[in-house]
Amino acid sequence: MSERLKVRKTYKLFIGGKFPRSESGRTDLVDGDNVARASRKDARDAVVAARKAQPGWAGATAYNRGQILYRAAEMLEARRGEFKTLDVPGHELNATIDRLVWYAGWADKLAQVTGSANPVSGPFFNLSSPEPTGVVGVVAPPSLLGLVSVVAPAVVTGNTAVVVSTGPQVAITLAETLATSDLPGGVVNILTGDPAEVAPWLASHDDVNGLDLTGVTDPELAADLERSAGGTLKRVLRPAGEPDFTADPGLRPMTAFLETKTVWHPKGF
C-alpha cells in the first residue's frame, strides 16, 4: 500500500464569522503552512463586517458579552492540544485562558466603575456612562497571550475589531475557537499578512474609530499609522516600550476605546 499523504492545512482569513481566502488569491508559506495574505480589499471587507456587527454587539447585555467570552475560554481549554502543536507553551495557554475569564468577569462591572453620578446645581440628575467607540483596528502581537490581551478588552465593552495578526497560525486557530463560542459573526475579524501592507488602510479608513498599535514593532511604521489615524480623529493606543502581557492589565486596555456619555434628567417633584 502507498503511504498516505497528509492533508496540509491552509490558514485562511476570518471575516464576518467565515473563513475566506484572500480576494487577491495570495498565500505565504509560513513554517511549512499555507497562510492567506490579506489585501486592501480584505481589510475593507472586514471593516464592513465589523460595522454591521457592532450595533447588535453593543446592544447585547454586558452579562451576555461576558458569557460569550467565558465560553471562548471554555473552548480554548478544550483545544489545548491543538495550540500545543503550534508550540504555544502550557503556561501561556493557562495565562490566556485566565485572561479571557478575567475580562469576562469585568463585562457587567466596568460601567459601574467608570460611570458616575455627578453633583450639579439644580433639580437634575447628571449621569455619565461609558459607551463603545465602534470599530477598532488592531495590530496584534504574534503570541496567543498578546493577541487575546488586545482583542478581549476591545470587544468586551461593545466594540468590534479588525485584527492584523503577525502570528498567523495561532491567530486563525484562535478564530476557529471563537467561531464555536457563540460570538456573533463580524465581532472579531482576523487578517493575516504583512502589517505594513494592510494596517495603513485601517488607519486611514473613515469607518474605523480606533487603532491599537500594540503589535507594531517598527517605530517608523507606528508613527506613520498614528499620523494617518489623525486624519479621521481616531483614538490611538500606542504603548510605550515593550508590553508585559503577564502583568495585571488593569482597566486601561478596556477604557482606551470607550466614550463617556453624559445625560441630564430633571428630578421629579
pLDDT band at 74 (very low <50, low <70, confident <90, very high): very high
- Residue 121 has what pLDDT? 82
Residue 3 clears pLDDT 90, i.e. is over it: no
Residue 246 clears pLDDT 90, i.e. is over it:
yes
Which pLDDT belongs to residue 269?
56
Percent of the chain at pLDDT > 90 equals: 80
Residue ranges and CATH numbers for the domains of the chain are 10-114+133-257 (3.40.605.10)
* Phi-psi region at 180: left, alpha or beta (left = phi > 0; alpha = psi -120 to 50): alpha
Q: Once rounded to an integer, what is the mean pLDDT over residues 116-127?
A: 82
Any alpha helices (H) in the chain, and if so which ranges? Answer: 40-59, 62-78, 80-85, 90-106, 110-114, 144-156, 168-179, 195-204, 219-230, 252-255
Kindly state the average pLDDT of the residues 18-40.
91
Confidence of residue 122 (pLDDT cuts 50, 70, 90): confident
CA distance 140 to 253: 13
Confidence band of 110 (pLDDT split at 50, 70, 90): very high
What pTM value is reported for the model?
Answer: 0.92
Amino acid identity of residue 220, one-letter, is E
pLDDT at 68 over 90: yes
Taking CA atoms, 263 is separated from 72, 93, 128, 181, in Å, by: 35, 42, 7, 35
Give the least confident one: 174-178, 186-190, 205-209, 263-267.
Answer: 263-267
**Arithmetic mean of pLDDT, 14-38:** 92
Question: What pLDDT is stored for residue 126 in this prediction?
Answer: 82
pLDDT at 141 over 80: yes
For residue 212, count CB atoms less than 10 angstroms from its CB and return exposed for 0-12, middle for 13-18, buried for 19 or more. Answer: buried
For residue 158, give the DSSP letter. T
3-state secondary structure of 29: strand
Q: With a cut of 80, say whether residue 40 has pLDDT above it.
A: yes
Output the CA–CA distances (angstroms, integers) from residue 144 to 87, 174, 238, in the order listed. Answer: 10, 8, 19
Q: Nearest to residue 192, comparing CAs of 65, 4, 10? A: 10
- Tell me: pLDDT of 129 over 90: no
In this structure, how many other beta carbons lie within 10 angstroms of the beta carbon of residue 217?
Answer: 14
Cβ density class 81-93: b for 16+ within 10 Å, e for less: eebeeeebeeebb
